[in-house]
Structure 1
Amino acid sequence: MDQARSTISKIFNGEPRSYTRFNLTQNMEGDNSQVEMKLSSDMDEEVGGNGVGEHAKHHPHQSYTTTKPQQRPPRNVCFMVAGIMLIFVIGYLIGYLAHRKSDVGSPACASAVSTNGEDDTIYQTETVSSLDWSDITSLFKSKLTQDSVEKSLSEFSSDSHQAGSPGDEALGNKVLKRFKDYGMDPWTDEHFVRIQTSPPSGANKVTFRGKTFAESGFLSYSALGSVQGAILYAYYGQMDDLRRLQDLNINANGRVLLVRAGKISFAEKVANAVSVNASAVLIYPDPADYSFDRETDLFGHVHLGCGDPYTPGFPSFNHTQFPPATSSGLPSIPAQTIRASTAAAIMKEMGGGNPPRGWADGGLQVYKLGGDDDLASVDVNNVLVEKKIHNVFGVIKGFIDADRYVVIGAQRDAWGPGYASSTVGTSLLVELARTITEMKNKNGFKPRRSIVFASWSAGEYGAVGATEWLEGYISSLNMKAFSYISLDGAVTGPTFKASASPLMYDLIQSTLKEVTLPNDPSKNLYSQVVGSNWETAVMEPMKMADSAYPFQTFSGIPSVSFRLTSDKDYSFFGTSLDTKKNLVINVFRVGALVKTAGEIAGNVALRLVHDHLLKMNVEKYSSLIRSQVAQINREVFSLQKSNRIPKTLKMQWLMSAMGSYSRASRRLLTLIQNSDLADTEQCRIINDRIMGVERNLLSPYVSPRESPFRHILLGSGSHTLGALLSHLAAIKDGSAGADIDVLRNQFALTTWTIQSCANALAGNVWEMDNQV
């Protein structure tokens, strides 16, 4: 094309037309980029210097024979010039049209011109979308309307959709149809999972002082059978509560623990009871914590884990060869929920002393600890059944890194209507899919990376559907899925709270500053934050019962679970009273709050798929590691001073690994600050290093079947830094379970897990700073 222009210019002007070529080069020593500018005449000189002209210059004695050109008649010359001009005009038009077609036909890389405000230097960069961030957020907010959200809430509301039921399948088909309508080419995954349901009689039984109480509520995955023991009131069943009883010289061995619902999950309450050798657990909703009728049944599960506990570490596909194994998180004692009225009747007849201060602050008339003669019988006869469940998926594919994706997920099943627990999340899921699809198809939004929308089943049994999917595709998911956003239980009040990977804290903070309050568009959600430390006010530890927990601690995928809530927990989860009516009564302006929740999730997802570099701060883990290592160091120093542990156990290796991670994270931030965002390959390399942090904090030294939550900072098990601290506390207390050799092993494995993470974050092997 340029040659054609040059030739025509020579014909008319006799001189070539100069043009300018700009090359953006990266200055790795600072933030300023250098721009190289060359004229065509300079290029001609360079070409001549390397070609025939240079050859003639260095060989002056070489002779050349020249002949005088033959003269042509003026008429022939005119015809020749006219013919040449016609040929080049036709060539010019063909080249122009072909060039224009090429520009229009390439959706993945559009040219954008940027201007540096300081020196007005113009340079060319490569971008995916013609929309900037403010355009994208404005467009997203305009399309995610309250009317459309409320229509989806009505469409996906259902009175009965327990996991694997026809109601659950019907909702799944609705989600699938909506995804198809959006042109997302959706798909489904089938899993065959085992869950416990209520006994054939419809109720389990509790017998106390000759009176039998039939309880329609139940706890899936409880141990089965009939046991007896004296009832012991243990408040909320937390470990602190059980230690309080030990301080009062009350032995829980063989007792039936009566505990309140709340504070911690049902599974944790039962696991704590097992640790003190209790014979069974009865869990009731105290009227002080739950505002519903005293005859209301509670439902839940007691698997201290996620997924199908009868295929631990394996996906429950129909073709899977299942090993003869069960999850270590299954309880060994029966557990049963009882109504508040049953708890009141039992407590009224109990003996024993008065409970510790605060334990009697409830809604029952009488509170007693219980005596040795307060014998009760607990009969649990749940039925283990196999259910076929469906997970439903849709995808919006990215234009640059299509094989990198964020997953947005919502639980679809519920014990009853499940309006707050599942209907809100499912409705938000399909509305986010609709909105972002429209932005892509109609408004020119071109995400760099992909978004996967997932509707899970069997969430009420411990994120079973989600975990089975993770187990089935773990080898690719933890390499390609860079984040998970949970929509479960997203709206129960006006105040924002979240649990997330520390990598995502900065992204959450910026999101709060961009999403406005539903009742006051002049203010953002960040204005709700009380105090100078927003993380303390907003962020909470991610609990095992959280649906995002297996993504974070089993798969090493940075995750966020958020909710708009109130000071008092929504009391209808796990009951048949989780209805639209009760949510509307307890929460003002539900529709507006659901739209706000959608804006939060959408803002996080769009930022992750729009930016050249993932908005994740790897330095956040430096402070968390430093904090825990400092606690360990204090305990080790104290125990060595009192000769409880040998001085040969050195802290220097763990401290060195901590320093390696800190240095690697700082160097990556420096690289990011000096990176060329137009360099697609460099951005991908940096993003892969960011994505690897969470995955590399999973301990490689424990089995995912025996210890599935392998994250050494946020997970659960003997491999974690928290377990190391607990072991030091056990040595300090003189516990029989303390073992110095085990402690040394914990030190070694945690040290090398952190060091390995630091090595991977540093990049190539020749860039590592391994001081251990």
Structure 2
Amino acid sequence: MDQARSTISKIFNGEPHSYTRFNLTQNMEGDNSQVEMKLSSDMDEEVGENGVGDNRNHNSNRKPYVAQKLGRTPKNLFFMAAATLLIFIIGYLIGYLVHRKKDLAPTCAASVVRFDEAVAHETGAAPLMDWNDVKKLLAQKVTAANFEPLFREFSSANHRAGSPDDDALANKVIKKFKEYGMKSWTDEHFVKVQDCPASGSNRVVFKNGSAMRPEGFLSYSATGEVTGAALYAYYGQDSDLMLLRDKSINLTGRVMLVRAGRISLAEKVANAAKMGAAAVLIYPDTDYSILDTTQLFGHVHMGSGDPYTPGFPSFNHTQFPPVQSSGLPKILAQTITAGMAIGILRQLGGQDVPTGWGGLHKLGEESDLITVEVNNILTEKKINNVFGVIKGFVDADRYVVIGAQRDAWGPGFAASTVGTSVLVELARSISDMVKNDGFKPRRSIVFASWSAGEYGSVGATEWLEGYVSSLSMKAFSYINLDGVITGQKRFKVAASPLMHSLIASTLNEVNLPNTAGTLASQFVKGSFESDVLVPMKLDNAAYPFLAFSGIPSVSFGFTSDNPYYPLFGTKLDTWEKLNLATGSQVPQLAEMATRFAGHMALRLVHDHLLRMDVMKYDKIIRLRVAQINMKVNAVQRMQPKLLPKDLTMQWLFSASGSYSRASRNLVADIQNSDLEDIEMCRIINDRIMAVERNLLSPFVSPRENPFRHILAGSGSHSVAALSDHLEALRIDNPEADADLFRNQFALATWTIQGCANSLAGDVWSLDNEI
């Protein structure tokens, strides 16, 4: 353009409108070349002098060159000037437009979109499949007919953790993952478990009768021999033992007989130990509806994972000194059959059982002596967890984990075979959707087959402990498939409150096979909360994910009126028995369980934002704070010396308010955000994922208190422990400690405030009111 302007300038400066001849001759006096320019007029003169072109006029009185060359007249000169002006104008306009285009080049024109044009959805996983199409594809892939072959393939008469049969099943699972084109791997751990003695047996002797030698046992019991007076303690719940104490019955040194059910076996033993009992005998009563000779198996570790490596993984290369979990019982624990229990209960003396406890027998008296001998052997076993992954197309480093235990005490059909089959079928279905139907999940899905689940979610917990830093802010949810079918009358779900809204919408979207009805229409008759939701208990395989790792988790299943399947922990857990409990509907129920789990997983990896409701915890926190406030006021009225007026609720109220505001602000940010902005979605999702993790108390050691979640966990740091401590202060219990309470109170307050700060986002968004 500059060259064009120069040329036009020369024209207007009167330079001849003619071609020029450039002679490049070497300047002998220097290195630079000189340019000799001879105009065409000079050339004409040279030609004439050489005798060529005699027809030319050589009159020395010629007109100026421009006029003479073409016979120019003033009129011709006018037209030439006009033409030149026109050329100048056209050149100027072209140059202006080119220059302006260069100036505008850095601006992203694509950011300006006409309102009458559709916005192109750029997700990084294009094309983004419509959610309705995703649902239909899953429903088409999963059918009841697919399950019977899987049930046969993964059934085994005995696949106890670490056994050759357990390893054989692991190899079958990983082979399936590879067939589906998934990246697969194994995770090896060396764990310590307690098994029944290889030679000899455990022994129970009532009075001077013959010794009873049960085959069943309770892993992680204390070992040795004790003798004490028998005492019937119903289900061994805290309330049951408190009732016995209120009846002025001595609990110290007693051998308690308790029914299985209602709470975990470990909780029964822990409750008895707190009351000073010497041993606990657990038996299946009428809740179980099984033969009098049926043996019962289980564990009594008040926790999960390998209790000899608490808080860290059982890898072979760990060099920690010997240590034990605080959840290991200090007293003996043993199972007996229903027939053995009946023989003992009928001979008990003492007081009548409390009203409502059932039975015609007595509670037992000091002369009803029982000797318990436990000879369990601590052994080390190698276990393998098996994994497969379907990688996401946008945030591949964010994943939902779907898992099921693989081992069992015996056949374990409901305990493990069904869950493993659902896991494999779900992996096949979603893999097929990705490979053949164009489905591209935004995030990844990890499928996990755990070992040593019967010993207390050992395989899963060791994995969590081993990869806690890798899982932090990456694993955003866990879906548990253990025990998904134990009946058909009810549908129950235990889950993190963050997932309640997702569960409710899933129930309304998953259709019953061959009908127009949904799971909600079948199982929700009143409210979702009362008909479907149940608390997540310590013995739930999803519990360590929630309370230890801070990963929002869900566990669900079709059940009977009795929420606890009576054949769990027995060798009667077979396909035939489960068919009887479900009216031979196991394949159909497995289809619905697979679609329910798959629907939740696909929703979590399909949507731009995680389907988790942070407002749910706002309601829970405010409710817990209100309850603590009432108890604090009661203690300050009744025991002013223990809890003086200077203990204020102001800071806990402020922390609760901070979380409330932060959660509302996040909802507003979501509503005002561009969901097609990948980075913005990732930032919002990270804020959502931080909620559960930041409810883990940072002020306690995971080695001493592994379940650090202040709302779902257990231990003195939990909000439930605060409430219990206040109750102990109110009644002036000698074990209550006001200073300890105030410390726990302060730490719980700051845990909630820290969670609110994280939810708020950047440091300049924090609520400084506290």
CA contact (8 A) 1:496 1:565 kept: yes
Give the stretch that moved more between structures: 141-150 or 462-471: 141-150
**2:539 partner letter:** A
Aligned to 1:655: 653
TM-score scaled by length of structure 1: 0.84
Structure 1 residues 174 and 68, CA gap change in structure 2 (3 angstroms): farther
TM-score scaled by length of structure 2: 0.84
Aligned to 1:576: 571
**How do 1:358-507 and structure 2 match up within 5 A?**
358-361=356-359, 366-494=360-488, 495-507=490-502
Aligned to 2:38: none
Q: 1:555-612: CA deviations, max 9, x gaps? A: 0000000111111232100000000000001112111001100000000000000000
**How do 1:259-278 and structure 2 match up within 5 A?**
259-278=258-277
Report the CA distance between 1:203 and its aligned residue.
Answer: 2.8
Aligned to 1:614: 610
Q: Secondary structure at the match of 2:239?
A: helix
- Does residue 744 (structure 1) correspond to residue 747 (structure 2)? The answer is no
Q: Secondary structure at the match of 2:322?
A: coil
**2:301 partner letter:** H
Aligned to 1:6: none
Q: Report the RMSD for the aligned CA atoms in angstroms.
A: 2.1
Structure 1 residues 123 and 371, CA gap change in structure 2 (3 angstroms): same
Q: Secondary structure at the match of 2:545?
A: helix
**How do 1:34-45 and structure 2 match up within 5 A?**
none
Q: 1:601-659: CA deviations, max 9, x gaps? A: 00000000000000001111000000100000011112212325100001000000000
How many residues are paired up? 667
> Which of the numbers 116, 119, 139 marks the counterpart of 1:123?
119
**1:251 partner letter:** N
Aligned to 2:581: 586
- Does residue 696 (structure 1) correspond to residue 694 (structure 2)? The answer is yes
Aligned to 1:557: 551
**How do 1:509-548 and structure 2 match up within 5 A?**
509-518=504-513, 521-530=515-524, 532-548=526-542
> Which of the numbers 733, 736, 742 marks the counterpart of 1:735?
733
CA contact (8 A) 1:169 1:390 kept: yes
**How do 1:648-687 and structure 2 match up within 5 A?**
648-687=646-685
CA contact (8 A) 1:130 1:444 kept: no
Report the CA distance between 1:320 and its aligned residue.
Answer: 1.1
Structure 1 CA distance, aligned partners of 2:347 and 2:357? 18
Q: 1:45-96: CA deviations, max 9, x gaps? A: xxxxxx999x99xxx9x989998698xxxxxxxxxxxxxxxxxxxxxxxxxx
Q: Secondary structure at the match of 2:432?
A: helix
CA contact (8 A) 2:183 2:390 kept: no
Aligned to 1:228: 227
Q: Secondary structure at the match of 1:521?
A: coil
> Which of the numbers 177, 180, 200 marks the counterpart of 2:178?
180
Structure 2 CA distance, aligned partners of 1:640 and 1:350? 46
Structure 2 CA distance, aligned partners of 1:715 and 1:306? 12
**2:175 partner letter:** K
Structure 2 CA distance, aligned partners of 1:537 and 1:652? 36
**How do 1:104-183 and structure 2 match up within 5 A?**
121-127=117-123, 128=125, 129-183=127-181
Report the CA distance between 1:360 and its aligned residue.
Answer: 1.8
Structure 2 CA distance, aligned partners of 1:214 and 1:367? 23
Aligned to 1:10: none
Structure 2 CA distance, aligned partners of 1:196 and 1:202? 15
Report the CA distance between 1:120 and its aligned residue.
Answer: 5.2
Q: Secondary structure at the match of 2:602?
A: helix
Percentage of matched positions with identical amino acids: 61
Report the CA distance between 1:532 and its aligned residue.
Answer: 4.6
**2:482 partner letter:** D
Structure 2 CA distance, aligned partners of 1:733 and 1:591? 54
**1:600 partner letter:** F
Q: Secondary structure at the match of 1:354?
A: coil
Report the CA distance between 1:185 and its aligned residue.
Answer: 2.1
Structure 1 residues 209 and 441, CA gap change in structure 2 (3 angstroms): same
Aligned to 1:108: none
CA contact (8 A) 1:256 1:281 kept: yes
**1:421 partner letter:** A
Q: Secondary structure at the match of 2:140?
A: helix
- Does residue 634 (structure 1) correspond to residue 633 (structure 2)? The answer is no
CA contact (8 A) 1:236 1:259 kept: yes
Structure 2 CA distance, aligned partners of 1:383 and 1:564? 36
Q: Secondary structure at the match of 1:664?
A: helix
CA contact (8 A) 1:202 1:216 kept: no
CA contact (8 A) 2:404 2:419 kept: yes
CA contact (8 A) 2:634 2:730 kept: no
Report the CA distance between 1:733 and its aligned residue.
Answer: 1.3
Structure 2 CA distance, aligned partners of 1:52 and 1:687? 54
CA contact (8 A) 1:314 1:322 kept: no
- Unpaired segments ≥5 residues, structure 2: 20-112
Aligned to 1:22: none
Rg larger in structure: 2
Q: Secondary structure at the match of 2:598?
A: helix
Q: Secondary structure at the match of 1:575?
A: coil
**1:264 partner letter:** I
Structure 1 residues 646 and 582, CA gap change in structure 2 (3 angstroms): same
**1:513 partner letter:** N
